[in-house]
Structure 1
């Protein structure tokens, strides 16, 4: 049997960064392809599909991947996570279908939303396997999956658009690509990890005791034990609500733009704002690689190591943000002309302000990973309710009168609120840990 040992933080980051680089470039390439081959309306239609599906999927995912990756004490086994994810994904698809019908979108737009929902259902199931792999610090396996998924998605989306002349065909191509990666790569790697870990052996023991004999030898068999799933839902539900609020905070401006200004303005705004992905790619790669280590530091009571690593991550976020603003100021218009079309470059001013939003968001994202690593789940829901509320009110007030510029200001408001309150939670978590360790030392 092939033995898989954890990789170093440096190697995990290198793999994750490379994987996210390829995947983010491919995702951005989808918007470029739609912008070059089609119209801003087509870009708007596609991004509306993403905006409608994302909050629902983020909620039903319950952020199980981060809970898995930071489950340093092994409170749950993989089959519990998989069982809950399958139930939640089916529920998400039904909710999205209901929202689409209730909203009264055009038939073609509804088909785009449903096709993207199918793609995201495959992605959600892959995500629970990535949580298992991340927990065992083998980010190379996830990176390879992303390097396959990204170009394949771009290829099949392009083929779908070319053959059908609509976004519907492209969205269906995306669903096919993500399904192929799930069944062709992610399932195999999940089984390999389980067979190489003590968790895999514990999984098999539980299956022998609880499952039907026909499934007792399958380490990938989901477990639906009511009491266990109930406890996991109680633990994860606040994070699911948090992720929904984060997604809503990002997408609320898109809902208002589509409603007040139409799919064309939404398409231009979305294409420019997607350039923030360059920094998000680095943030996500580094944060996902560092999360298991942050969790171990906090669980061990090592506040110095936890604080030092987290503040280094925040410093990276600040440098990325400053670099993005500089590039947008110096070369925003030619970059937009080269990447998209001249009509996008006319809004180069938005590029600068969106990079400001991105910089604040990078810092907030690292702080958020630190909060999750410290297992401060409950506080995240009111925190992001406050962030989303502030952003939503700003959109309601500004977009009808200021248009796209109002959407950017609303994003800045939400980003500042998130950064300030996330820092406060981290400061409190470190204070509590220091106080506990001090009390423990006095007793000893």
Structure 2
């Protein structure tokens, strides 16, 4: 059997960037389609569905993909990750259904939320396969999945909205698209990766191969061994809270906007916010490609390589942020008019402030990947409690008086807190590597 060798960091980045580019463009295209075919209210309704489902899904996902991708010692097999993810996804659907019923949304809004929850469930299962593929440094397989998923999502959402005249039809189309890609492409790639690892690998991949061979069942099937799952939950739970807090930090302004200003203002804010993804796309591509390497550097106690790569990533984040602010200030109004409608361009000042928040978010995101690669999981929980709390307090004070502009400022406040404390954790992690370099003992902290 032909071996699937890991790709270089450059090739992994190129594939990931291309895949994320097409996927992000398609995701943005969905908002444009809703804005063009419908109204800001429809954009707001769709955004509310994402805002309600995202924190729950992020929590129950437990950031297993990041733990998988940086599991340089092969502590768990794929079946363990898949088994825990299926339990978490089922729990998430129940929680979202309960929230939707309890919140008393309009029936149409409730249907949108539930349809998006189903789509997110498919996405969660896909994510655990992505973690397996990322662990083996074959980001091309994930990129191809995104290249299929993005345009298909846009197509089926557009068809759903056109046929029904409602966001509900579009959300159902989205769920169908993500389900088709999961069963038609991603599971097959997981099977290929596992077969490849079972034929023997060199170096650290041998740990993964041996672990899979030790599993008595088909390695593609979920495994629910209570003791193993308990240990994995204990390891991952802090990151589950962290990812929920990160999602809340993003969505708290949207809850306040919907509460105080209505779905129309939420739609305008969400449409502009999505343009932040242009830079985040580069950040995610580079960070996901670099994460396994950062983890190996840290596990090996190579402080110089770890520090150098982190600084390079932060430098990229700073340049992206500065470029986004420049574009927003110089050409914000014509860009918004072209992409959406003139009513969006009237808020070009909001666009500029959102780009400031985005730039700071890029830097903090790279630092977050560095913390995960260094296995600093538990410290992230109090860190993001501070970040989310700061953002929530700022929203409470600013949105009722400053409107959507107050929401952008609140995001900046949260980003400042995140950058400062994340930098402190990374500095401590590097100090620990240097200390352990003298004793040659592993510097893992969880």
Asked whether the two chains share a fold, i.e. TM above 0.5, the reply is yes
Report what 1:27 is aligned to. 27
Q: Contact between 1:200 and 1:219, CA under 8 Å: does it hold in 2?
A: no
Residue 371 of structure 2 corresponds to residue 371 of structure 1: yes
Q: Contact between 2:9 and 2:290, CA under 8 Å: does it hold in 1?
A: yes
What's the TM-score, normalizing by structure 1?
Answer: 0.96
Partner SS for 2:301? coil
Report what 2:228 is aligned to. 228
Residue 418 of structure 2 corresponds to residue 418 of structure 1: yes
Deviations, residues 283-305 of structure 1 (Å, cap 9, x unaligned): 00000000000000000000000
Report what 2:201 is aligned to. none
Report what 1:435 is aligned to. 435
Residue 291 of structure 2 corresponds to residue 291 of structure 1: yes
Residue 133 of structure 2 corresponds to residue 133 of structure 1: yes
Distance 2:342 2:215 in 1: 60
Distance 1:157 1:264 in 2: 20
Q: CA deviation at 1:55?
A: 0.3
Q: Contact between 2:249 and 2:414, CA under 8 Å: does it hold in 1?
A: yes
Distance 2:249 2:438 in 1: 39
Would you identify which runs of 4 or more consecutive aligned residues in structure 1 move more than 2 Å? Answer: 198-205, 438-441
Distance 2:9 2:356 in 1: 29
**1:147-162 maps to which residues of 2 (within 5 A)?**
147-162=147-162
Deviations, residues 104-150 of structure 1 (Å, cap 9, x unaligned): 11000000000000000000000000000000000000000000000
Deviations, residues 40-97 of structure 1 (Å, cap 9, x unaligned): 0000000000000000000000000000000000000000000000000000000000
What's the TM-score, normalizing by structure 2?
Answer: 0.96
Q: Contact between 2:76 and 2:211, CA under 8 Å: does it hold in 1?
A: no
Q: CA deviation at 1:432?
A: 1.3
Q: Contact between 1:195 and 1:201, CA under 8 Å: does it hold in 2?
A: no
Partner SS for 1:197? helix
Partner SS for 1:105? coil
Report what 2:120 is aligned to. 120
Report what 1:241 is aligned to. 241
Q: CA deviation at 1:36?
A: 0.5
Cα-Cα RMSD: 1.0
Q: Contact between 2:22 and 2:147, CA under 8 Å: does it hold in 1?
A: yes
Report what 1:253 is aligned to. 253
Q: Contact between 1:321 and 1:355, CA under 8 Å: does it hold in 2?
A: yes
**Structure 2: any 5+ residue segments left out of the alignment?**
199-207, 442-446
Deviations, residues 10-33 of structure 1 (Å, cap 9, x unaligned): 000000000000000000000000
Report what 1:108 is aligned to. 108
Distance 2:440 2:264 in 1: 61
Q: Contact between 1:53 and 1:117, CA under 8 Å: does it hold in 2?
A: yes
Report what 2:319 is aligned to. 319
Distance 1:202 1:262 in 2: 52
Residue 317 of structure 2 corresponds to residue 340 of structure 1: no
**1:249-288 maps to which residues of 2 (within 5 A)?**
249-288=249-288
Q: Contact between 2:19 and 2:146, CA under 8 Å: does it hold in 1?
A: yes
Q: CA deviation at 1:202?
A: 3.5
Report what 2:202 is aligned to. none
Report what 1:300 is aligned to. 300
1:203 pairs, out of 188, 212, 215, with 212
Q: Contact between 2:295 and 2:373, CA under 8 Å: does it hold in 1?
A: yes
Equivalent pairs counted in the alignment come to 432
Partner SS for 2:273? helix
**Structure 1: any 5+ residue segments left out of the alignment?**
208-215
Distance 2:401 2:357 in 1: 21
Partner SS for 1:387? helix
Q: CA deviation at 1:2?
A: 3.8
Distance 2:297 2:437 in 1: 13
Distance 2:2 2:95 in 1: 41
Q: CA deviation at 1:226?
A: 0.0
Distance 2:212 2:314 in 1: 37
Distance 2:386 2:22 in 1: 34
Q: Contact between 2:97 and 2:114, CA under 8 Å: does it hold in 1?
A: yes
Partner SS for 2:215? helix
Q: CA deviation at 1:386?
A: 0.4
Report what 1:387 is aligned to. 387
Q: CA deviation at 1:206?
A: 1.4
Deviations, residues 358-408 of structure 1 (Å, cap 9, x unaligned): 000000000000000000001000000000000001111111111111111
Report what 1:211 is aligned to. none
Q: CA deviation at 1:201?
A: 5.7
Distance 1:384 1:53 in 2: 19
Distance 1:196 1:439 in 2: 36
Q: CA deviation at 1:203?
A: 2.5
Report what 1:210 is aligned to. none
